[in-house]
Amino acid sequence: MRIGVNYTPRVGWFHSWLDLDLESVKADFDQIAELGLDHVRVFPLWPLLQPNRGLIRPTAVADLVAVVDAAAASGLQVSVDALNGHLSSYDFLPSWVVTWHRQNLFTDEVALAGEAALVRELGRALQDHPAVTGMTLGNEFAQFAGPAPGHRHPMLSEATADDVDAWFDTLLAPLEEAWPLGRHHHGFDDDLWFVDEHPFTPRHGVTKGASTTVHSWVFSQVGPRYGEGHPALTSFPRYLLELARAWSPDPTRPLWLQEVGAPRTHVPDADAADFVNATIDAVVDTPGLEATTWWCSHDVNRALLDFPELEYSLGLFTSDGVAKPEARLLAERMAELRAVSIPAAQDAPERPTMEFTADWHTGAGRGVTNPMGDFFDEWQSRFARGEVCGISRRQPEA
């Protein structure tokens, strides 16, 4: 099993891209590698890479390559995000798509041309690097699309499911064609799986890119519903992986648990190592799971203001670089996890199955699988009793 971490720089957080300190970055990567982790996901900032639609800064691209080189020197593989986009409650959008130049990020020709130019340039810069496994288009970029009405994002770029298809064709298809050996993805939050009105649908999640990515966060629904210490919190990532498989037309499609973390709003310090342990136990035998990537490497320093409280404590290391109990727990288990042979998806054993009905093209009906509902409640109850249920989707009758 591949085990890695989403890289949050210890010094300066992602603002460190403004004045890159490679020695600090190298020290961070050495710490990560010393735990036995094998990969990182890195997040250059879109406005710094492309402050004007016609200017992709060579210095910013060179900084990204230098960070990748540093990861490689520490023995780490790297996946690079392009359109960031959104990180830890903050949005990083260039000035040419906001305010007086506001563009629909998914449908306007100006925005699409700029986004495609950036993805293409980063692909060219990275495709021959032996440590880079591929690119992720963006981090939870789908949140800018809605849903509407009742959307949560203040800068909505309205789109339809067909618009999203076209957006992927514009950005992902050329990347895959130019860099066929790269493993390219998109990072989705869980609205994709649960919000009926969202234009990004589960079929996008299970057909676009090299594998299906899942982001497992318990602070918004599972934690408030069940409370800290409940086994539903550590079984939720397995549920998402099983749900993703239910939507996939290809039973052999690999899965990537791209983000999973222990938010202190629902996982106290004293329980964090046990939370990591139980989470790993819940997912370790998931058929087709190719990687698990923890969020995140280092706590946000409290000198940086106005983050949601939970963001200050999600790291495996403190902002001073001290390994936390959950980091030590991962290190202790690494040899065991490296020896685990993940079953191929097609070799999954026969299991009891729970079925739901939802439309393939629009995703309508997916809300029944929301973790606030009876479907998840039954699934997690059975999992807690030792019964790992598969999930299947049925198409609504015409």
Average pLDDT over residues 359-382: 97
C-alpha span between 348 and 245 (Å, rounded): 11
Decide if pLDDT at 154 tops 90: no
pLDDT of residue 5: 98
Concatenating the DSSP letter of every residue in 98-123 gives SGGG---TTT-HHHHHHHHHHHHHHH
- The chain-wide mean pLDDT, for the chain, equals 95
pLDDT mean over 78-104: 94
How many whole angstroms separate alpha carbon 4 and alpha carbon 294? Answer: 6
DSSP 267: S
Q: How confident is the model at residue 347 (pLDDT cuts 50, 70, 90)?
A: low
Q: Is the pLDDT of residue 150 over 80?
A: no
Assess contact for 236 and 261: CB atoms under 8 A.
Answer: no
pLDDT band at 103 (very low <50, low <70, confident <90, very high): very high
Q: What is the pLDDT of residue 27?
A: 98
Helix (H) or strand (E) holding 354: strand 353-357
d(CA 312, CA 262): 11
Domains of the chain: 2-346 (3.20.20.80)
**Across residues 236-261, what is the average pLDDT?**
96
Count of Cβ atoms closer than 10 Å to residue 346 Cβ: 10
If one counts every other C-beta atom within 10 angstroms of the C-beta of residue 341, the result is: 7
Measured distance CA(296)–CA(253) in Å, rounded: 26
Predicted pLDDT of residue 251? 86
**Is 229 in contact with 267 (CB distance < 8 Å)?**
no
Residue type for 221, please? Q
The per-residue pLDDT for range 312-332, each reduced to its tens digit, is: 999 999 999 999 999 999 999
Does residue 333 surpass a pLDDT of 90? yes
In sign, the C-alpha dihedral spanning 342, 348, 351, 357 is positive
Percent pLDDT > 70 in the chain is: 98
Contact 206, 246 (CB under 8 A): no
For 361, other C-beta atoms within 10 Å of its C-beta total: 11
Instruction: Rounding to the nearest 10 degrees, give the CA dihedral for residues 262, 264, 266, 269.
Output: 90
Beta bridge partners of 256: 213, 291
Residue range 157-169, pLDDT digits in tens: 999 999 999 999 9
Mean pLDDT of 210-214: 97
Distance between CA atoms of residues 115 and 97, nearest Å: 10
* Mean pLDDT for the stretch of residues 177-186: 93
CA torsion 207-106-53-183 (nearest 10°) is -10
Whole-number pLDDT of residue 149? 61
pLDDT interval class at 217 (50, 70, 90)? very high
Contact 231, 384 (CB under 8 A): yes
Of 181, 53, 210, 203, the C-alpha closest to 116 is 53
Confidence (pLDDT) at 151: 65
